[in-house]
Amino acid sequence: MRENRISVFRKHTLGILVALGMVLFGSVFILFTNIGKNKATVAAEETLQFIKEQSSRSEAFAEFYQGLHLEMNGIIMICKNGLVTGSNFEEYQGKTQAEAPLIQNITEETEPDTLFSFRYYGSAYFGVFESYGENDLYVFYPVASVFFLRTLALAYVMILYILLCSVFLWLRQREEKEQEEREMACQEAVLLSATKEEKANAAKSDFLRKLSYDIRTPINGIRELVELGNRYDHDLEKQRECRKKIWETSDVLLDLISDMVDMDKLESGAVDLELRSFDMRELYEDVCQWAKELAADRGIRYHSRQLSGKNWKLYGSPSHLKQILKNVVGNAIKDNRGGDCVELSCEERQSAGGTAWFEFVCTDTRSSYRRGEPGLAVAKGLIQMMGGEIHFSDEETGEAFCRIRLPSLIDEEQAQEKDAKVQEAVKRPVSIRGKKILLVEDNELNMEIAEFLLRKEGAQVIRAWNGKEALECFEASAPGDISVILMDLVMPVMDGFQSAKAIRSLEREDASKVAIIALTASDYEEDAQKCRQAGMDEHLPKPLDAGNLIRVIQKYLR
């Protein structure tokens, strides 16, 4: 409604300005006309009174008016017996009333003591007359003199009106220009947005096509392997080979699903980078060990260079950094053929300005990287969130490499730890043989698998089917008897979070020291943070990887 009123106002601006001008000029004209008439009336009355006073003092007062100047260029005439006996204009002095043209404009209808108007030879006058004894008194004022202020006021109002109209029209023109620019900018923004949306939709469609292909490929592979295994139901070696390939293919499918979830979280801004202390050497070794096992399963030669640098105690988001390295290295391993080589290196660097960063380089024998692959897209998004850079280069030698640069935030306090403690952290893993491990799991199949993996390494397993049983088992054990607790998170009666908090709150020496490792099907960083807040030391994703499970347990047995 308001916009409609503004539109109507703009459309009829000129007419409105003209109407306002007419009202303004009319008001000023009427006001100053009345002022001029009132002023002339008052002046005439005062002049007549003055003449009366002078005539009462002396009979010979005709000479007194010669050269007398009145306000508004007034003319005085005093007549007696038909002759002009006194006037401030010499040309009328001594003339008869018939020879005084101004007096001739007085008719029988003209009332005395009343201001009247007339024209004489193109000039307008106001006049008043009065009889006083034997004398007839006349006072005349030129209209131009009476309305001088009106003329001056109209001139000033005209100048002001023109100035205001000019300013108003200039402002309107500027506003229209700005409005036009805004509309053009809006149209450009809409066009740009539409172009971006079109490109985004095209990219999303292309991504979905690739994703559909990437998902269908492992699913079809699993189906074919199952069918192949059915044909060789009496060939145990063939059955073992099919199961191994099914396991590897399912890993690819799980990675794809994780990448899809991570990409959605990145696009929606739901990823929160944590900031906590971590050891770059441990993280690098974990990634290298994982990559070594993955490469061995696929017949790929893998090599990792020794770390180069001195500051390894850092602040940052270790879980996201590990995810980045696994995505990049995993992509290189999975996309290479048997017999090819993949190499990973990590080096601490420092610019001339003192800025420190870590440079990771992954080199392999492919001719190029598939940069639209979901894992690399997730890695790129996380790297950008961490303020880093990622570059892909295809060498003429036939090798391809990916270079990652991430800024580092050194933990000075932890960097000053004694060498003995550092060596203790990286020494050869401790065996879990004979160690008591409390396994908390409500799913019978998961319990059986985890127990088998642990007993295979010689560990003693104590079963608990929910968080409450785990708490009771720990309370019933002797201090230091249980070395590690493997805790499922989602369980009846009491979940893993509540159980971990309850164990940590117990008043016994080993309650705060025993390692509690979460077992979860979720690989979200939010869940990892909840685990740490509940007092757990680490979390492992399901399905469990035997090598990774044993390696993590060994880390907390050092």
Q: Are residues 285 and 391 in the same domain?
A: yes
Q: What is the per-residue pLDDT for 125?
A: 79
Is the pLDDT at 32 greater than 50, yes or no? yes
Q: How many CB atoms lie within 10 A of CB 489?
A: 22
Burial zone of 487 (CB within 10 Å; 0-12 exposed, 13-18 middle, 19+ buried): buried
Q: Are residues 410 and 514 in the same domain?
A: no
Q: Which has the minimum average pLDDT: 97-101, 156-160, 517-521?
A: 97-101
Average pLDDT estimate for 55-65: 58
Q: Are residues 324 and 417 in the same domain?
A: yes
Q: Which has the minimum average pLDDT: 19-33, 125-139, 331-345, 543-557?
A: 331-345
Output the domain CATH number for residue 325: 3.30.565.10
Q: What is the per-residue pLDDT for 372?
A: 59
Q: Are residues 31 and 112 in the same domain?
A: yes
| C-alpha distances out from residue 468 to 385, 445, 492, Å | 40, 20, 9
What is the average pLDDT score of the chain? 79
Q: What is the per-residue pLDDT for 7?
A: 54
Q: What is the per-residue pLDDT for 353?
A: 47
Domain boundaries, position 484: 436-556
Q: Which has the minimum average pLDDT: 156-170, 272-286, 422-436?
A: 422-436
Structural domain contains residue 192: no
Q: Are residues 442 and 416 in the same domain?
A: no
Q: Are residues 483 and 368 in the same domain?
A: no
Which of 366-380, 448-462, 539-553 ranks highest by mean pLDDT?
Answer: 448-462
Are the CB atoms for 544 and 552 separated by under 8 Å?
Answer: no
Share of the chain above pLDDT 70, in %: 84
Output the domain CATH number for residue 490: 3.40.50.2300
**CA-angle at 261, arms to 532 and 391, nearest 5°:** 95
Q: What is the per-residue pLDDT for 467?
A: 92
Q: What is the per-residue pLDDT for 100?
A: 78
Over the stretch 393-421, which tens digit does the pLDDT of each residue have?
755 455 667 888 887 666 545 444 534 44
Over the stretch 288-335, which tens digit does the pLDDT of each residue have?
888 888 888 778 888 888 776 666 777 788 888 888 888 888 878 877
pTM to 2 decimals?
Answer: 0.45
Structural domain contains residue 228: no
Q: Are residues 388 and 460 in the same domain?
A: no
Over the stretch 156-178, which tens digit does the pLDDT of each residue have?
888 888 888 888 888 888 888 88
Output the domain CATH number for residue 86: 3.30.450
Is the pLDDT at 366 greater than 70, yes or no? no
Q: What is the per-residue pLDDT for 81?
A: 77
Q: Which residues contact 446 (CB under 8 A, 6 or more apart)?
A: 488, 519, 542
Mode of pairing for the β-strands spanning 389-394 and 356-364 = unpaired
Q: How confident is the model at residue 425 (pLDDT cuts 50, 70, 90)?
A: very low
Q: How confident is the model at residue 57 (pLDDT cuts 50, 70, 90)?
A: low
User: Cα separation of 367 and 414, whole Å?
Assistant: 42
Q: Are residues 420 and 443 in the same domain?
A: no
Q: Are residues 402 and 382 in the same domain?
A: yes
Using the Cα atoms of residue 213, residue 218, residue 222 and residue 225 in order, give the sign of their dihedral. Answer: positive
Q: What is the per-residue pLDDT for 419?
A: 44
Over the stretch 179-188, which tens digit does the pLDDT of each residue have?
889 999 999 9
Q: Are residues 416 and 447 in the same domain?
A: no
Structural domain contains residue 6: no
Write out the two tokens for 490. 């989602």
Structural domain contains residue 176: no
| φ, ψ of residue 407 in degrees (nearest 5) | -65, 145
Instruction: State which of 103, 128, 146 marks the end of a domain.
Output: 146
Average pLDDT estimate for 449-471: 91
Using the Cα atoms of residue 149, residue 155, residue 158 and residue 159 in order, give the sign of their dihedral. Answer: negative
Q: What is the per-residue pLDDT for 300?
A: 83
Write out the two tokens for 9. 């106002």
Instruction: State which of 399, 426, 453 marks the end of a domain.
Output: 426
Q: What is the per-residue pLDDT for 93?
A: 74
User: Cα separation of 275 and 282, whole Å?
Assistant: 17
Q: What is the per-residue pLDDT for 441?
A: 93
Q: What is the per-residue pLDDT for 415?
A: 45
Q: How many domains does the chain have?
A: 3
Structural domain contains residue 261: no
Structural domain contains residue 158: no
Q: Are residues 38 and 89 in the same domain?
A: yes
Instruction: State which of 96, 117, 146 marks the end of a domain.
Output: 146
Are the CB atoms for 481 and 457 separated by under 8 Å?
Answer: no
Structural domain contains residue 2: no
User: Cα separation of 347 and 298, whole Å?
Assistant: 27
Q: Are residues 280 and 412 in the same domain?
A: yes
More reliable by pLDDT, 480 or 351: 480
Structural domain contains residue 79: yes
User: Cα separation of 151 and 145, whole Å?
Assistant: 10
Is the pLDDT at 370 greater than 50, yes or no? yes
